[in-house]
Amino acid sequence: MQVEFKENAEIKQYTTFKIGGNVKGLYLPANQQEFVSLLNELDNYIVLGNCSNVLFSSNGYSGNVILTSSMKNFEIRGTHVIASAGVKGPLLAQKACENSLSGFEFMIGFPGSIGGEIFMNAGCHGQNISDTLTRCCLYDKEKKEVVYKEKSEMEFSYRHSILHDGRYILLGAEFELSKKPKEEIQALMDRNLAFRKEIQPSLAIPNAGSVFKNPPNDSAGRLLDKAGAKNFDMPRVKVWDRHANFIINKGDATSEDVLELMVKMYTAVRDIYTIELKPEIIYIGDKTGKEEELCNILYKKMIK
């Protein structure tokens, strides 16, 4: 079995932020069999999907990266949907609509893959990925075997799942959607897309989605807006002028640029509201001394 492999690959071309140096090895399995084979063989690796909520270090990453973006298999049987980890949310939302199935409308404007969305229990507009999920197919890193977990075992909460603990890696998932008129589903997706276009930056503009998680009973965007973050504009990065919880790469930004702006945003809210926002963006890579300091402020507990 020959898995697509790229040595010393520049990771930024695969991320929505368009930031990141070279990684030791980049693997792109095409199906579950190739994916599991890799997981059995490799020791030092991280698994990512569409790289839409990550910030890679401009210094690169001295480990291996497995991207599931080539794992695009899915099938629809009645109201039952089975999808591999790498299937993109917008595609699945559109296919569900074509089959008069409701439950994925919120995903139409998300750049992420099913694996990433389940990892963080993604959601918006009153819908979450966990709402329709019934079962997950996982790789157990401790036992080195494929296992299945029901929705009740996935420990879903706000932007969290059992996948955060690091033992399990998502291979695929099963969903149960509900029948609705196609016109109603399309209308809701159109509204969701219109909202995104009005408020959030286009996917054509390099960004990594929401920067910070919403604190309990509040909105990170609202707090950042009130703290004046929309005016934060640095030479290579800036806060999006229509929504204060997005950072834009002006074209040649580094990971350090982004972290500096994140700390500025975090500090503004902390100083005014005594609320410490938690990053939604995941930082990955080999840090400079400056980045170590910035990550210590933002993440408290160090990341890979």
Q: What are phi and psi of 139, to 5 degrees?
A: -105, 125
Decide: 106 and 135 in contact? Cβ < 8 Å.
no
Quick check: is 159 catalytic?
A: yes
Specify the amino acid at residue 187. A
List 57, 69, 210, 255, catalytic entry: 210
d(CA 245, CA 122): 16
Decide: 91 and 115 in contact? Cβ < 8 Å.
no
Sequence-ordered list of residues with C-beta below 8 angstroms from that of 292, at least 6 positions apart, any chain: none
Residue 23 tokens read as: 């990684």
Radius of gyration of the chain (CA): 19
Decide: 238 and 248 in contact? Cβ < 8 Å.
yes
Provide the CA 5 distance to its chain's centre, in angstroms.
22
Q: What count of residues does the chain have? A: 304
Helix (H, G, I), strand (E, B) or coil at 48: strand
Quick check: is 167 catalytic?
A: no
Which among 72, 80, 77 has a CA at the least distance from the CA of 103?
80
List 174, 176, 276, 280, catalytic entry: 280
List 69, 84, 130, 159, catalytic entry: 159
Quick check: is 222 catalytic?
A: no
Rounded to 5°, the CA angle 279-280-286 comes to 70
Rounded to 5°, the CA angle 7-143-32 comes to 50
Helix (H, G, I), strand (E, B) or coil at 284: strand
Catalytic residues: 159, 210, 280
